[in-house]
Amino acid sequence: MGEAGKRAAAIAAAAAVTLAAACGGSSRLSKTEYERKMNAVVIELESACNLNLRASVGLERRVLQLDDAQKKFNNSANEIDNLQPPKVVEADNRNLADALRVLAHRFGEIKKAVESRNEENVGSALQTRSDYWAVALEDLLTKGYSVSPFSCSFKTGD
């Protein structure tokens, strides 16, 4: 390979490295980017967990709502796991993803109670509230990050 060929190969290799880095590579998110992505997740979660679990809605609809919420919480946990957060909040990011998995599991428990057709069990499952997200979020907030809390609402009774 001549001098011109070597130079062209070197330029092509450098361009490939630059392009790979520009296309996502493994660069960390800035604080602002991280907050924006996390708050988008919160909006998605809010819409996923406002459920009508009244018996009059019917068993199939109630189970579908809970199944959908469980999937969205698991998907959001995976999305958070795949983020490249600022180094200072890496552990908090893992804790938030884990908290969503715990909540997804909780939706599964509520779904089993609904499927049992025992409204008392449904009430008990709903009473077992979980503040895992709030606890995981607390440390992130003390570090000066602005990520919203969220709450689920369940319409019950008839």
In whole angstroms, what is the distance from residue 56 CA to residue 53 CA? Answer: 8
Counting Cα atoms < 13 Å in the Cβ hemisphere of 12 gives: 6
Are the CB atoms for 110 and 66 separated by under 8 Å? yes
Q: Considering only residues 23 and 31, tell me which one the structure prediction assigns the higher pLDDT.
A: 31
In whole angstroms, what is the distance from residue 45 CA to residue 40 CA? Answer: 9
Query: Does the pLDDT value for residue 25 go beyond 60?
Result: no
Of 42, 46, 38, 24, nearest to 81 (Cα)?
38
Mean pLDDT of the chain: 82
Query: Does the pLDDT value for residue 48 go beyond 90?
Result: no
Is the domain covering 29-155 a CATH 1.10.8 domain? no
Vertex 36 angle, CA 34 and 40, to 5°: 115
Residue 117, phi-psi category: left (phi > 0), alpha (psi -120 to 50), beta (remainder):
left
The average pLDDT across 8-13 equals 50
What pTM value is reported for the model? 0.77
In whole angstroms, what is the distance from residue 1 CA to residue 22 CA? Answer: 30
What per-residue confidence (pLDDT) applies to 106? 87
pLDDT tens track for 50-106: 888 887 888 899 899 999 999 999 999 999 999 999 999 999 999 999 999 988 998
In whole angstroms, what is the distance from residue 105 CA to residue 112 CA? Answer: 11
What per-residue confidence (pLDDT) applies to 21? 46
Helical (H) or strand (E) element with 103: helix 90-115
In whole angstroms, what is the distance from residue 158 CA to residue 156 CA? Answer: 7
Give the pLDDT band (50/70/90) at residue 16: very low
Give the pLDDT band (50/70/90) at residue 7: low
Give the pLDDT band (50/70/90) at residue 20: very low
